Amino acid sequence: MKIYNSYILTVAILLLLTTIILVGIGQNSLDIYYTIYVLEALVVTELYVYFSTKARRGLNLVSILLFGGFTFIISQQVIKILT
Amino acid sequence: MLKKNSYISAGLSLLITGILVSLVSIFILYLTWLTATGIAMLILSFILLSLGRTIPTLSPEASAILLKTGIDNIASIVEELGISSKAIYLPSSLTGGKPQALIPLHSNPSLPSITRAVTQRLIARYGDNPNDIGLLVSTAGTTVVTMLESRPGPTADEFESALTSLLLGTLGVADKVRVNADGNHIKVMIYKPRIESNTTWFHQCLGGPLASIVTSVAAEAWNRPVTIKQEEHSRGKYSVDLEVQGEDIQ
């Protein structure tokens, strides 16, 4: 399954590069790391439009899970600002 | 229950490592970057586990055996009958169900015009002439077309998109597909194909498995009979020239 390997490699390389760059610029907030990871994973998943229906369904579940975490972080920040 | 394959194994390994790395770095080492690396591992593990569940349980070798058995049986019939005419790939609307290939029993210099649905039998009549009979057979394309989410529209772009989705996404048997349409001819270029095409009598009559898939999808897209004019395999490229029956498509 060449398309699977290429997708996994793309996501892995992007997450690794993001970590290196954010460490390099001295980023110390876990929220920023997570938010960028999620955005990258979602964008790459959308770019791979030729996945089979079964694979896309599975990846949609992962996307919902990751987006749930992203929403949690945003709501925490909003609560922090409001209180 | 998770089926055991390399994606599942890698996913479970990354899941366990990711959880351990995240917990140790949060509560003991207090290193943000290491926690982030653990989270990245967890994200990758979720992706691997979800993709691992979609890998077919049947091995490629077992699939090849089944495909070869089916092809050998039809090849024996075709060779025994001494048929040398090229197959005509019919859309589902002309076969009353699924796209199939019709191999005329008598060679005809011009393509027979098929306008009404042929009967669903192995030996089917397709015209009014007594010689208008042929073998109606299912091909690799017959099954593959059912894997399409929707029927592609009659344009080169939609045809290319459907082929890319099938050959790259669903079957994983090629790296790239390009389509050019001119008049009622379509040229399909498949890059780095991973299915071999033999040059037996049967393949010259019906085309190789990839050509069969491409032609069946074309017949469905344009809803017209399609024939393989030529197929060529050279240095990682496989080209198939198709002819769509009737007026120009472009």
Domain boundary residue among B95, B120, B137?
A: B137
Residue A24: both structure tokens together: 């390099």
Give pLDDT, residue A1.
65
B181: pLDDT strictly greater than 70: yes
Share of chain B above pLDDT 70, in %: 93
**pLDDT tens digit sequence for A13-50:** 999 999 999 999 998 889 999 999 999 999 999 998 88
Same domain? B171 vs B194: yes
Which of B197 and B44 is assigned the larger pLDDT?
Answer: B44
d(Cα B22, Cα B17) in Å, to the nearest integer? 8
| Claim to verify: residue B179 and residue B124 sit in the same structural domain | no
Interchain CB distance below 8 Å, A30 and B32: yes
Of B119, B137, B155, at which residue does a domain stop?
A: B137
Question: B118, B137, B156 — which closes off a domain?
Answer: B137
pLDDT attached to residue B250? 62
- Total count of domains within chain B: 3
Are residue B225 and residue B144 in the same domain, yes or no? yes
What's the confidence (pLDDT) of residue B124? 83
Structural domain contains residue B105: yes
> What is the pLDDT averaged over residues B194-223?
83
Question: Do residue B198 and residue B129 come from a single domain?
Answer: no
pLDDT the model gives residue B68? 77
Out of A30, A33, A65, the one facing B46 most closely (by C-beta) is: A65
Residue B201: what residue type? W
Nearest to A58 among B36, B44, B50 (CB): B50
Confidence (pLDDT) at A39: 93
**Structural domain contains residue B21:** yes
> Over 60: is that where the pLDDT of B184 sits?
yes
* Distance of residue A23 Cα from the nearest chain B Cα, in angstroms: 6
From B100-114, B128-142, B149-163, B164-178, the region with the lowest mean pLDDT: B100-114
CATH code, domain carrying B175? 3.30.70
Q: pTM (2 decimals)?
A: 0.75
In a domain, B204, yes or no: yes
Segment holding B185, helix H or strand E? strand B185-191
Please give the Cα distance from B62 to B192 (Å, whole number).
Answer: 22
For B138-163, what is the mean pLDDT? Answer: 87
In a domain, B1, yes or no: no
Question: Regarding predicted confidence, which is higher, A1 or B167?
Answer: B167
Indicate whether this complex's ipTM tops 0.85: yes
Structural domain containing residue B159: 140-244
For B188, the token pair is 């399909």
First-to-last C-alpha distance (Å) of chain B: 50
Among chain A residues, CA nearest to B41: A12
Q: Are residues B95 and B32 in the same domain?
A: no
pLDDT (0 to 100) of residue A44: 94
| Residue B44 burial (C-beta neighbours within 10 Å; 0-12, 13-18, 19+) | buried
* Helices assigned H by DSSP within B53-200: 60-81, 140-145, 156-164
Mean pLDDT across the stretch B166-190? 88
pLDDT of residue B249: 65
Whether residues B166 and B222 fall in one domain: yes
Sorted by sequence, the CB contacts under 8 Å of residue B186 that are 6+ apart come out as: B156, B159, B179, B180, B218, B241, B242, B243, B244, B249
Q: Are residues A66 and B43, on separate chains, in Cβ contact within 8 Å?
A: yes
Closest Cα partner for B199 from B60, B104, B75? B75
Residues A18 and A40: beta-carbon distance below 8 Å? yes
Residue B47 domain-assigned (yes or no): yes
**Is position B249 within any domain?**
no
The span from the CA of B119 to the CA of B135, in Å, is: 11
Task: Give the full edge-to-edge strand order of the sheet including B133-137.
Answer: B123-125, B133-137, B100-104, B88-90, B226-234, B237-244, B185-191, B176-182
Whether B37 shows a pLDDT value over 80: the answer reads yes
Contacts of residue A36 in chain B, CB cutoff 8 Å?
Answer: none
Residue B33 placed within a domain? yes
Average confidence score pLDDT of chain B: 85
**Same domain as B65, residue B33:** no
Indicate if B68 and B17 belong to the same structural domain. Answer: no
Q: Are residues B81 and B150 in the same domain?
A: no
* pLDDT of the residue at B34: 93
Query: Closest Cα to residue B218, out of B206, B226, B208?
Result: B226
Please state, in angstroms and rounded to a whole number, the distance separating the CA atoms of residues B160 and B177.
7
In a domain? residue B106 = yes
Task: List, for residues B1-36, the tens digit of each pLDDT value.
Answer: 456 788 999 999 999 999 999 999 989 988 999 999
Residues B98, B120 share a domain: yes
Query: Are B89 and B169 part of one and the same domain?
Result: no
Which of B39, B53, B164 comes nearest A58 by C-beta?
B53
Q: What is the pLDDT of residue B236?
A: 84
Same domain, B88 and B125: yes
Q: What are the start-end ranges of the H helices in chain A? A: 2-24, 30-47, 53-82
Best mutation target, B33, B49, B57, B58, to test chain A (most A CBs within 10 A): B33
